[in-house]
Amino acid sequence: MGRKQAYTQAELLDTTKRLLLEHGYDGFHLKLLSRHLHGARSTIYQYYSNKEQIVAACMKRVMMNMLDSASLVDESDCMKALEQILHIYIQESALHRLLGDMHKINTVAASSAAEDLAFVEQSHVTLKDQLSRLFARAQQQGALRRDVPLPILIGVFFNLINTPNMLSIPTAQWSKHLFDVWLNGARE
The confidence score (pLDDT) of residue 5 equals 58
The confidence score (pLDDT) of residue 140 equals 92
Is the overall model pTM greater than 0.75, yes or no? yes
Specify the number of domains making up the chain: 1
Whether residue 36 is contained in a domain is answered as no
Q: How many DSSP H helices and E strands does the chain contain? A: 9, 0
Cα angle: 95, vertex 61, 66; to 5 degrees: 60
Which segments in the chain show pLDDT lower than 70?
Answer: 1-5
The confidence score (pLDDT) of residue 186 equals 78
- Output the CA torsion sign for 15, 21, 24, 27: negative
| CATH number of the structural domain spanning residue 161 | 1.10.357.10
The confidence score (pLDDT) of residue 3 equals 41
Whether residue 110 is contained in a domain is answered as yes
Whether residue 153 is contained in a domain is answered as yes
Whether residue 26 is contained in a domain is answered as no
Q: Which domain holds residue 122?
A: 56-184
The confidence score (pLDDT) of residue 4 equals 52
Whether residue 38 is contained in a domain is answered as no
